[in-house]
Amino acid sequence: MTRQQILTWTQRNGLFFALVLLIAIFSFASSRFLTVPNMTVILLQNAVIGLIVVPGAMLILCGLVDLSVGSIAVLAAVVFGQAMDSGFGLPVSMLLGLGVGMLWGAFNGYLIAILGFSPIIITLGGLAGARGLAEFITQGFTTYGYGPQFALLGNGKLLGVPVPIILFLIVLAIGLHLWYRAPLGRHMIAIGGAKDTAAELGIPVKLVPFWLYVASGLASALGGLIVASQLDGAAVTIGTGMELEVLTAILLGGVSFTGGRGSLFGVFFGLLFVGVLSNGLIQINVSPYVEQVAIGAALCGAAALDMLYQRLERLQVPVEREPNEPVAQGTGGSQ
């Protein structure tokens, strides 16, 4: 194998094997780790982040980002809670919660995808703004106690599988289909990697990101409602730090932050990696500091691999394909 092949292989599969290694270590350290109940708990703990990660990864593939996810989640939960308190009833209250998330997503999408504002600035504004609005709405008084029907969303089970996991798997399946089997996947790579070309070829370079922001807002709102259901209360702390958890899973999964390259399978493994790490470290009763350090190290490793991979791809491939080619010719010949 050439150095380039090794790197390509590592970049594609490294995370998967790191995950397997991690699971092996924890299984060795704790007999209760590798059990069906604990694996279910790990999936359950990451189902909400997972829901939001799917549209989030698509946005990053397009070269965009949504930092407002956690704040949209809490805003949706709070709006739901207030609606329940005001006697709107469960279906209407849930629709209001989800609607406010979609609306905020559409607002993000309009400003960023249609008008061309900076995604970081607009969604950073949303990060502060949506949470501030949620705090303003509650005035410090958390609503709680929504009854057994709503509790099914976060705590119910279908054929023994917790509802949040089922919702996550549905969203993941839709995401995988769009990413790999529908034209959208290629279009997102084109938008993120060569936007002008994509536009020239008639790809809707504004509408695709717009709808992704709407999807991200909707997924965040759904996540917020699930957590509110699990806690049976619209705590103002819902979604705190969620944007970073979402970004960590996506970037660990090898989606390039500049857009145009990445795999949703990788993102899924990134999500599991973080979930397994925090669950496992609690299981073996290791200092909470270690979790942060381990995730940080894994992210740096992923970033380094990504950079090496990109450089090798640029430098070596053309030369390798045509060994007789004079060095100064072709696009890849010179540094």
Partner 1 sequence: MGTKASRAVTRRDLLKMSAAGVAVAGVASMGLPVVAQERKRIALAHPDRAADYFQGFMNAALAEAEKRGYDVLQSFSGMDPQKQLAEVNTWLAQGFDALIVLALDANAMAPVVAKVHEQNALFISYANRIEGEDGFIKWADRDAGALLGAYTAKHIKEKLGGGGAEVGFLTATNIQVVTDRIESTREAILAELPDTKFFEATALNAPDALKATQSLLQAHPAMKIVICCTDDGALGARSAYQNSGLGPDNVLIAGFDGAKQNLELVKARDPYLQVSMALDIGDIGRRVIDIPYQLWNGGPESETHVLQEYKLVSHETAEADIDTILSVYS
Partner 2 sequence: MNTAEAKPAVLELRGLSKSFGPVHAVKSVSLSIYPGEVIGLVGDNGAGKSTLTRMMAGTIRPDTGDIVVAGEKQTFESAQDARRAGVETVFQTLALVPGLDIVENIFLGRELLASGPLGAVTRTMDVAAMRRRVQEGYERFGLGLPDIRTKVAGLSGGQRQVVAIARAVLWGSRIVVLDEPTAALGVKQTELVLSFIEQLRSHNVAVVFISHNMQHVMRVADRVCVLRLGRKVFDGQMSALTGTDLVALMTGAATAVEQVAAAG
Would you count residue 260 as binding partner 2 (CB under 8 A)?
yes
Taking CB under 8 A as the binding criterion, the range among 104-112, 141-149, 188-196, 229-237 that sits at the site for partner 2 is: 188-196
Q: What is the smallest separation between the CB atom of 300 and partner 2, expressed in angstroms?
A: 24
Q: x/- binding map, residues 180-219, to partner 1, per CB under 8 A? A: ----------------------------------------
Q: What is the smallest separation between the CB atom of 260 and partner 2, expressed in angstroms?
A: 5
Q: Are 212 and 109 in contact (CB under 8 A)?
A: yes
**R_g of the chain computed on alpha carbons:** 22
Q: φ and ψ at 256, to 5 degrees?
A: -70, 130
Residue 116 contacts which entry, partner 2, partner 1, none (Cβ below 5-8 A, type-dependent): none
Would you count residue 193 as binding partner 2 (CB under 8 A)?
yes
Would you count residue 323 as binding partner 2 (CB under 8 A)?
no
Q: Are 260 and 193 in contact (CB under 8 A)?
A: yes
**Other residues' Cβ atoms within 10 Å of the Cβ of residue 158:** 10
Question: What is the sign of the dihedral through the CA atoms of 267, 272, 274 and 275?
Answer: positive
Would you count residue 173 as binding partner 2 (CB under 8 A)?
no
CB-based contacts of 283, cutoff 8 Å, min separation 6 = 26, 29, 30, 32, 33, 38
Q: Which is nearer to partner 2, 139 or 181 (CB)?
A: 181
Question: What is the sign of the dihedral through the CA atoms of 129, 116, 221 and 42?
Answer: negative
Q: Are 126 and 104 in contact (CB under 8 A)?
A: yes
Residue 213 token pair: 């922001």
Question: What is the sign of the dihedral through the CA atoms of 265, 267, 273 and 276?
Answer: negative
Q: Are 255 and 263 in contact (CB under 8 A)?
A: yes
Q: Measure the CA angle with vertex 113, ends 111 and 119; round to 5°.
A: 70
Cα distance between the two ends of the chain: 23
Q: What is the smallest separation between the CB atom of 273 and partner 1, expressed in angstroms?
A: 15
Residue 13 contacts which entry, partner 1, partner 2, none (Cβ below 5-8 A, type-dependent): none
Taking CB under 8 A as the binding criterion, the range among 75-83, 136-144, 154-162, 192-200 that sits at the site for partner 2 is: 192-200
β partners of residue 158: 161
Which of 169, 194, 232, 265 binds partner 1 (CB under 8 A)? It is: 232
Would you count residue 200 as binding partner 2 (CB under 8 A)?
yes
Q: Are 237 and 134 in contact (CB under 8 A)?
A: no
Would you count residue 1 as binding partner 2 (CB under 8 A)?
no
User: Which of 241, 242, 247, 240 has the alpha carbon at shortest distance from 299?
Assistant: 247
Q: Which is nearer to partner 1, 32 or 314 (CB)?
A: 32
Q: Which is nearer to partner 2, 166 or 315 (CB)?
A: 315
Give the integer Cα–Cα distance in Å for 33 and 259: 36
Residue 243 token pair: 């944007």
Q: Which is nearer to partner 1, 19 or 212 (CB)?
A: 19
Which of 130, 167, 227, 305 binds partner 1 (CB under 8 A)? It is: 227
Residue 279 contacts which entry, partner 1, partner 2, none (Cβ below 5-8 A, type-dependent): partner 1
Which of 279, 305, 306, 309 binds partner 1 (CB under 8 A)? It is: 279
13-72 residues near partner 1, rule: CB under 8 A:
30, 32-33, 35, 37-38, 41, 44-45
Residue 313 contacts which entry, partner 1, partner 2, none (Cβ below 5-8 A, type-dependent): partner 2
Give the integer Cα–Cα distance in Å for 219 and 138: 22
203-242 residues near partner 2, rule: CB under 8 A:
203
Residues that bind partner 2 (CB under 8 A): 177-178, 181-184, 186-187, 189-190, 192-194, 196-198, 200-203, 260-261, 313-314, 317-318, 321-322, 324-326, 328-332
